[in-house]
Amino acid sequence: MALDPKIAERLKRTPDGLVPAIVQQHDTGEVLMLAWMDDEALHRTLTTGRATYWSRSRGEYWVKGDTSGHVQWVRHVALDCDGDTILLKVEQVGAACHTGDRTCFDAHVLDVTGVGAGA
């Protein structure tokens, strides 16, 4: 089985065949992480209900939670208007970040000091 051709034709991939996937907690909108998907990872995600990604560093597919137990149950998947970003809304079990933080955006919050900051 392969990704539905109607979906595949809408995707705009990087030169290495990947599309960024933004992952949010489905009920709060909390941004959990960013990962990468190719056609096969998206197909597996859509057909299993478990978030599956392509690891650029390891060069292999990984299903979120298979080793950590921090599973992402997929509740909603959408493409942005240009087809170059995937949005996954998930039920996150445990930490989303490999560091053990709830999200990948917890550790390094940056101060905004420019015009309009804090407004």
Sheet with 19-25, edge to edge strand ranges: 31-37, 19-25, 86-92, 72-79
* 80 marked as part of a ligand binding site: yes
* 97 marked as part of a ligand binding site: yes
- Which pLDDT tens digit goes with each residue over 16-65? 999 999 999 999 999 999 999 999 999 999 999 999 999 999 999 999 99
* 101 marked as part of a ligand binding site: no
* 38 marked as part of a ligand binding site: no
Count of domains forming the chain: 1
Rounded Cα–Cα distance for residues 34 and 82 (Å): 18
In a domain, 49, yes or no: yes
* 82 marked as part of a ligand binding site: yes
Domain CATH number, residue 51: 3.10.20.810
Domain that holds residue 59: 5-92
- Which pLDDT tens digit goes with each residue over 78-93? 999 999 999 999 999 9
